[in-house]
Copies of this chain bind each other. A is one copy, B any other.
Amino acid sequence: MLSPSSAIGVFDSGLGGLTVLKSLNARLPQEDFIYLGDIARLPYGTKSPEVVTKYSLKCAETLLKQNIKALVVACNTASAVALPNLKKTLSLPILGVIEPGVRSALAEGQDQTVLVMATTGTVKSNAYPTGFQNQGFKGKVLQLACPLLVPLAEEGWFETPITEQVLNSYLAKVPIDLIDTYLLGCTHYPLLLQSLRNCVGTQKAIVHGGDQLALELQEELTKRNLLSNKKKGSLTFLSTDQISAELPILQKLFPQPITFSVIDF
Chain A residues engaging chain B, CB cutoff 8 angstroms? 39-42, 46-48, 50-51, 147-148, 150-152, 154-155, 157, 160-162, 165-166, 169, 240-242
Contact = CB atoms under 8 A, between A and B. Distances in A.
B47 A51 contact: no
Given A41-B41, A148-B151, A151-B148, A51 B162 contact: no
A145 to B, nearest CB: 10
Interface residues of A, dominant DSSP: helix
- The number of times this chain is found in the oligomer is 2
Interface centre among A150, A155, A169, by most chain B C-beta atoms within 10 angstroms, is A155
Contact of A165 (B39, B41, B151, B165): B165
Given A41-B41, A152-B148, A48 B241 contact: yes
A45 to B, nearest CB: 11
Nearest to A42: B46
Given A47-B241, A48-B242, A155 B147 contact: yes
26 contacts: A39-B47, A40-B41, A40-B47, A40-B51, A41-B41, A42-B46, A46-B154, A47-B241, A48-B242, A50-B241, A50-B242, A51-B240, A51-B241, A147-B151, A147-B155, A148-B148, A148-B151, A148-B155, A148-B157, A150-B151, A160-B169, A162-B162, A162-B165, A162-B166, A162-B169, A165-B165
